[in-house]
Amino acid sequence: MSLKSDAAVQSAKTGYDVNRIRKDFPILKQLVHGKPLVYLDNAATTQKPLQVLNALEKYYYTMNANIHRGVHALSQEATEAYESSRIKIKKFINALGKNEIIFTRGTTESINLVAQSYGRKYFNEGDEIIISQMEHHSNIVPWQLICEEKKAKLRVIPIDDTGELVFEEFEKMINEKTKFISVVYASNSLGTVNPVKQIIELAHSFNVPVLLDAAQAVNHLKIDVQELDCDFLAFSGHKLYGPTGIGVLYGKVNHLENMPPYQGGGDMIAKVTFEKTLYNELPYKFEAGTPNIAGTIGLGAAIDYVEKIGLDKIASYENELLDYATQKISELSGLKIIGTAKNKISVLSFVLENVHPHDVGTFLDFEGVAIRTGHHCTQPVMDRYAIPATSRASFGMYNTFEEVDVLVNGLKKILEVFG
């Protein structure tokens, strides 16, 4: 039996009904250049189900008000909805308390918050901060900025030809000068899932805190921050079928309590005088100004949606799609997959001989297929493989095996035309 029919049997067994799920995503019904949309750019952002769109609409239609500020009914209702999302997220990642959940604009802002707040307080000249060669720019530049300011040194764990971290190099790198480690849980350009538990265990044996960039992990892998024992974890709502402009920073209370505020403004204070300001309790100390109330409520709805289907079911279905797509495109001569780690999320990066990835993307677009091409904000990864860019197909809960076939047929045509 083929992988595709095996998967169909498996999906029927687990009750995973992709056609039912697709009905919740109105955007997927669209035609693009006269062809049915095949959306394979889920690592960039996922589409939003009706349940999320309805939650956003309901907020603006029936309860739009500022939060934590008004005694009036709308403000109280909005505050309740906003705070109930915090509780959903706490449960979703199994944090100890809701005061460990800080709302931000996204992964990027979450990492900048830690780099600026934790780094300003604790980093000194000669300290070392460890990241990896497969980091997104969002987990490189914030550390470069603070390292420059503090005269600290950034050290980089290398990756091997398959796209896995060279763990022995990490073991050699960590020492008494190491002050912080920030690594990606799952790579957006290679798909690699990193051995974060081992990284954290080793880091903690040196008393070094670890931040996990979970932007690409949160919608594929069940995250339990207590089990992982990570010190910080960052993710974005828009990659978890939620709205853009909303993200989360999880942090252990003992760290957050000792860190200075990242930004000053309304809501993050307990008392302000011109002589001295006392800060609000956690998590509000880190939430200055009017937040993205609608986005937060939308993210709560997205989590409800994902949990109703079951992240484990979604992940195993996506793995089947990845295996099928990997097998199909491996059969194409003139195509090379970049990122062949043993443990991957459903991200498939590749290069075609003699065809620039941008041409691949443009050609596929005319077939209705949306993929991402470029360096995926991981230029050091491109340098590692001495390529300017890759084409990247990334699968979400609503993609189908037939859509993989459309992708593969499109690639065959490209190879015929340009090959």
Minimum distance from CB of 37 to ligand C6P (Å)? Answer: 18
Tokens of 137: 């720019």
For ligand C6P, give the closer residue by CB, 119 or 247: 247
Q: Which is nearer to ligand C6P, 43 or 63 (CB)?
A: 43
Of 251, 44, 41, the residue nearest 136 (C-alpha): 44
* Residue 373: both structure tokens together: 């091409």
Could you tell me the smallest distance in angstroms from the CB atom of residue 417 to ligand C6P? Answer: 27
By C-beta, is 7 or 196 nearer to ligand C6P?
196
CB of 12 to ligand C6P, least distance (A): 32
Work out whether the CA dihedral 221, 193, 7, 333 comes out positive or negative. Answer: positive
- State the residues that interact with ligand C6P by CB under 6 A: 43-44, 106-108, 136, 138-139, 184, 188, 213, 215-216, 236, 372, 376-377
Q: 184 vs 208, which CB is nearer to ligand C6P?
A: 184
Catalytic residue from among 8, 56, 145, 377: 377
Q: Are the CB atoms for 128 and 155 separated by under 8 Å? A: yes
The rounded Cα 158 to chain-centroid distance in angstroms is 21
Minimal distance, residue 106 CB to ligand C6P, in Å: 3
Compare residues 42 and 79 and give the one whose CB is closer to ligand C6P: 42
- Is 230 an active-site residue? no
Least Å from the CB of residue 110 to ligand C6P? 8
Rounded to the nearest whole angstrom, what is the least distance from the CB of residue 213 to ligand C6P in the complex? Answer: 5
Q: Among residues 136 and 150, whose Cβ is nearest to ligand C6P? A: 136
Q: In whole angstroms, what is the distance from residue 16 CA to residue 21 CA?
A: 9
* Residue nearest ligand C6P, CB atom distance: 188
Please work out, in degrees rounded to the nearest 5, the angle formed at the alpha carbon of residue 18 by the alpha carbons of 17 and 19. 95
- Annotated catalytic sites, by residue? 377
